[in-house]
């Protein structure tokens, strides 16, 4: 397996953006940008051996710059939502940029998704580095982050590491949208299984209430495989919820999520060291984005599995901490496996 580097475009300030293309013998092909760490393209085979684009994204850099919609991007410093766009750390209140319903979403005005990362090919891995200065987006501390992408046969692996020189908060993820039928239709017939017995309910602004609730007897229960559409009438706004895995998975022994497209047979599995994942089904897609292959990204034409720690954890003492102190190392690994049956 080799990594091929090509120029993808130029930022307004003249810096070059490159595309790094991975291709495995098993028919998986992934393209990664050093802008935003974006997974720009993801091609896998269906049950008949036909390749197809299962990731949502754009053909050009200009579209990514104009849209800022997180397709395939690294998200930080803090993924998901921070209620009221504020938090208190070591007795000091920090106010963040409000970019959704009075809260702060996915790192603020210009999060990690909109940064040019330093890129180096490290053997069979792509290494991306970014240093977020003290006070960037009003987060404290200088945060040095490294992300590695690798393609191991039929597995796309993402490793994250971050260190700080001052106490701060960190919760990183990747925001790739998947559509296993290659955007021929929405994802509601996809069958999903999520090994999570709890989730974190949200208010009308999609901010966690602080409760950690059981999925038992609710539409949130995906412990047994079911079509995404099956119980959707009970959640008319659509799934956009944080699921708490039934067990932690530090050794990545278990595939905690599996999604299958009955039509083409493509199957996606996810394993992660993180305690949670945000399951989102493209409720805010509206068809205005025309992406790869000229496909129009309509409502619910993609789903996300954002491996993460508890959202808005800094504002809920009963959630696991997302505080990172000097001398500590934030680390996370997430893997996606692609097959067909």
**Residues with active-site annotation:** 175, 306
What count of other Cβ atoms lies within 10 Å of the Cβ of residue 204?
7
Contact of 147 with 162, CB cutoff 8 Å = no
3-state secondary structure of 151: strand
3-state secondary structure of 113: helix
Q: Which residues pair with 269 in a beta bridge?
A: 258, 337
Please tell me the distance from the alpha carbon of residue 252 to that of residue 45, in angstroms, as a whole number.
Answer: 24
DSSP H/E element including 29: strand 29-33
| Residue pointed to by tokens 């799934």 | 239
Q: How many residues does the chain have?
A: 341
Please, how many CA atoms are within 13 Å of residue 190, restricted to the half-sphere of its CB?
Answer: 30
Contact of 110 with 210, CB cutoff 8 Å = no
What count of other Cβ atoms lies within 10 Å of the Cβ of residue 184?
12
CA distances (Å), origin 55, targets 65, 117, 253, 288: 18, 21, 25, 17
DSSP category for residue 225: -
Tokens representing residue 120 in the block:
């180096």
């Amino acid at each position: 397996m080799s990594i091929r580097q090509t120029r993808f475009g130029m930022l307004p300030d003249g810096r070059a953006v490159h595309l790094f293309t991975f291709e495995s013998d098993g028919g998986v092909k992934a393209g990664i940008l050093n802008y935003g760490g974006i997974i720009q393209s993801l091609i896998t085979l269906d049950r008949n051996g036909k390749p197809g684009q299962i990731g949502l994204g754009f053909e050009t850099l200009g579209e990514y710059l104009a849209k800022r919609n997180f397709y395939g991007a690294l998200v930080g410093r803090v993924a998901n939502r921070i209620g009221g766009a504020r938090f208190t750390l070591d007795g000091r209140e920090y106010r963040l940029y409000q970019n959704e319903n009075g809260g702060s979403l996915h790192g603020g005005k210009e999060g990690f998704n909109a940064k040019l990362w330093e890129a180096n090919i490290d053997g069979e891995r792509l290494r991306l580095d970014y240093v977020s200065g003290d006070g960037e987006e009003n987060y404290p501390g200088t945060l040095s982050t490294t992300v590695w992408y690798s393609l191991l046969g039929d597995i796309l692996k993402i490793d994250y590491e971050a260190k700080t020189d001052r106490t701060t908060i960190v919760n990183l993820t990747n925001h790739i949208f998947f559509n296993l039928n290659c955007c021929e239709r929405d994802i509601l017939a996809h069958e999903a299984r999520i090994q999570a017995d709890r989730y974190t309910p949200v208010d009308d602004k999609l901010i966690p209430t602080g409760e950690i609730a059981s999925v038992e007897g609710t539409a949130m229960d995906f412990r047994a495989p079911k079509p995404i559409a099956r119980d959707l009438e009970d959640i008319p706004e659509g799934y956009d919820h944080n699921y708490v895995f039934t067990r932690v998975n530090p050794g990545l022994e278990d595939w905690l999520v599996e999604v299958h497209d009955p039509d083409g047979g493509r199957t996606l599995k996810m394993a992660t060291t993180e305690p949670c994942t945000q399951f989102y089904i493209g409720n805010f897609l509206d068809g205005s984005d025309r992406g790869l292959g000229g496909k129009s990204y309509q409502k619910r034409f993609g789903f996300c599995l954002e491996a993460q720690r508890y959202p808005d954890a800094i504002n809920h003492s009963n959630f696991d901490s997302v505080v990172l102190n000097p001398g500590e190392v934030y680390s996370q690994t997430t893997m996606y496996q692609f097959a067909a049956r």
